[in-house]
Amino acid sequence: MRCQLLTLDNITQIYPDMGLNQDKSSLLCLYHLQHVVCFSLHAAVVYEISFLVVFCLALTLLLYLQMVFVFSLAKKFRNSKLTLC
């Protein structure tokens, strides 16, 4: 999702009904609000990607540890003699 920031020059083109009827402070408020929203969206995307990377690394580590454990058990039981009753 690309976030296009407004400038004070093109805000009246995008929102024509808010044009010259609003004072400069309202336009500045909308301008800064959009900066905050865009920053929040970018931060959420970065957080989500970093969470997925950490989650995949944790799964890979758990799979590796499980394989090491299974192979150590297999090696241990291969050397021992099992008898069926």
Does 3 map to a domain? no
pLDDT in tens, 4-16: 555 656 666 665 5
Paired tokens of 15: 């929102």
Q: How many domains does the chain have?
A: 1
Does 2 map to a domain? no
Does 85 map to a domain? no
Distance from C-alpha of 45 to C-alpha of 84, rounded to nearest angstrom: 57
Does 48 map to a domain? yes
Does 29 map to a domain? yes
Instruction: Write out the DSSP string of 22-54.
Output: S-HHHHHHHHHHHHHHHHHHHHHHHHHHHHHHH
Does 57 map to a domain? yes
Domain span including residue 54: 11-79
Contact (CB, 8 A) for 6 and 31? yes
- pTM flag (> 0.75): no
Distance from C-alpha of 38 to C-alpha of 7, rounded to nearest angstrom: 14
pLDDT in tens, 22-46: 566 666 676 677 777 777 778 888 8
